A and B are shown apart, each in its own frame.
Chain A
Amino acid sequence: MPANPFNGFTEYGIGIGLRVPHYRHILAKKPVVDWFEIISENFMVDGGRPLEVLDSILEQYRVVQHGVAMYFGSADKFDREHQKRLKRLVKRTKTPWLSDHLCWGSVDGRYTHDLLPMPYTFAVARHTAQKIREARDFLEVPICVENVSSYAEYHASEMTEWEFLSEVVEQADCGILLDVNNIYVSSKNHNFDPYDYLNNVPHHRVGQIHIAGHSKFEKYLLDTHDHPVLDPVWQMYAHAIKLVGSTATLLEWDDRIPSFDEVHNEALKANKFRDEQLATTTASDRYPRTTA
């Protein structure tokens, strides 16, 4: 839904990721952008240029935090230092919601710096949901968890990925950062229908959407964020918007980063699908009246 408890009841439009090659352009030209997404860990530092840039951005733009190291699915307890720094950053940015991935990535204090898929079991879902609740209580900000792209499946899994995602977010009572590109990549790698995924997650919990490009290899797709968004992903995005409403959307472009304008223009293509959705959805569809 456009504004809901999971995105802090905000109505953000189309955003892009704040990336180093664009700093100079943004600070000098001050382009009109609905909002920027930052990688939290890049700014969880003690001082220097990263925080100076962030403060300048915060003076002019809305910023939402997206993390890569909370590892809700790791068996490890949270890294307290990470959590404290993250909370300090939340206070600095006043992010209306915060997102991180439904994955694991650390074991016994050793970090893989990857977003690793989890076994989709009820026990893992319980553990993960508990950690999300713990993080939300400490950070005091709504949390959306993002589905990751994956290249492997476990024998131990007891359900589909979308059933697992639903199980986790219902138990944690948290939001979803629905990454339609990741769904597409995983659907090709694991032979499922991506529309089954889209149709079967709790739509009212979607607080944000990610779109991105990926790379095709002979035997699998890789989530590389180094291309424009591909047509099948745009089609999925259009379908997602029909299901969840005009939701805050973010284009990720992290490698072989082109000019700011090229990235921003690619992101703004999402408006076409949002406009179409708004035109075809009546007010009563979007805001159904309750009946006695």
Chain B
Amino acid sequence: MAAALFRPLTPRWGMQKHWTDGRRMQDVAAEFIKPNDRLSSFERLEIYNRQYWFRVLDCLYDDYPGLRAILGERKFMKLATAYLARYPSDSYTLRDLGNRLEQFLQEEPQWSAPRQELARDMVRFEWAQVVAFDGPAKPAVTPDDILDTPLSKLQLDLQPYLSLLELDYAVDDFLIAVKKRDSDALRGEASNAVQSAPKAAKRRKRIRLPKREKVYLAVHRHDNMLYYKRLDPEAFAILTALDRGVTVDDACAEAVTASDRANIDWAAQIKEWFDNWSALGWFCHPS
């Protein structure tokens, strides 16, 4: 039965008419499902086949509005179906449904052609938001905690809910525009029924796709609200170095040395960054 449920639906949202070995699906269903006076075995099994796909597609539909806006509704549905056929849910929670979507786009770029890079940037960004929403938090480092540690020896971890993204497109601005356009849809929670196909494609105002542009982004939460924050390249370099386990001294030195910006008071700039990051609670003790 599970194998039947996981098989993708036809383009008209019905169960496929033939089984993988070529037998008629109505014969296969009749082997284990009883018919009743109103529904054949095929039709009864089809209710579950449809519910499975409606539920998981609906979930991705809600969780990836940015990817949907890039690809368009129809192409998004094809990609989502191909993804879920290859990588069915491996978690008890639908929260994790998109956890291999970036990998899938890398492995099967044809589904997002000709906008593969933009689509991948958006998926990384949208997954980072899932992590930031309810990912774990560790106790934040306070100034007193590190008062006596010289910067040459000081290592700082970043909060597990914080994602640092180096992107080739300004997907943050694009997603803000998409969300402004779309009204948020709420997903049902405990009913085991999904009665309709994922939202039908509606004619919506198109939003201009972002141009190629280097963007450094931190996706995080503060007071349990989700935020994304643009970073200077050097700030991004410092944070990624800290994330690799480099000391504060070395991370700053690496970033400044690699910078091509001149006439910057780096000491003041770096102090401002660290003050800001500390206030946001981004630093925690190395594990």
Contacts and interface: CB of A to CB of B under 8 A. Distances in A.
A10 B224 CA distance: 34
Contacts, number: 144
Contacts of A59: none
Interface stretch (B108-116, B131-139, B201-209, B233-241): B131-139
A288 interface: no
B51 interface: yes
Contacts of A110: 2, 6, 88-90
B32 to A, nearest CB: 6
B91 interface: yes
A114 B89 contact: no
A230 interface: no
B48 A152 contact: yes
Interface string A220-262: 1011111000000000000000000000000010110100000
B31 to A, nearest CB: 8
B161 interface: yes
Contact of B190 (A39, A153, A191, A220): A39
Contact of A219 (B39, B51, B56, B95): B39
Interface in A21-70: 21, 39, 41-42, 44-52, 66, 68-69
B2 A107 contact: yes
A2 interface: no
The range of chain A's interface size is 35 or more
B89 A46 contact: no
B36 A47 contact: no
A46 B137 contact: yes
A17 B89 contact: no
A109 B2 CA distance: 12
A42 B221 contact: no
Given A219-B38, A220-B39, A79 B92 contact: yes
Nearest to B6: A110
Nearest to B41: A152
B8 to A, nearest CB: 14
B135 to A, nearest CB: 6
Most chain A CB inside 10 Å of its own CB: which residue of B43, B94, B137, B193 = B193
B93 interface: yes
A111 B90 contact: yes
A254 B91 contact: no
B47 A225 contact: no
Contacts of A50: 134
A113 interface: yes
A126 to B, nearest CB: 20
Given A110-B6, A223-B192, A224-B191, A152 B45 contact: yes
Given A47-B161, A48-B133, A69-B92, 10 more contacts: A17-B189, A44-B93, A46-B137, A48-B135, A110-B6, A111-B91, A155-B33, A215-B193, A220-B38, A254-B191
12 contacts: A47-B161, A51-B134, A52-B224, A106-B92, A110-B90, A111-B92, A114-B192, A116-B1, A152-B34, A152-B48, A219-B39, A252-B190
Interface of B: 1-2, 5-6, 31-34, 36-39, 41, 43-45, 47-48, 51-52, 55-56, 88-95, 132-137, 160-161, 186, 188-193, 195, 221, 224-225
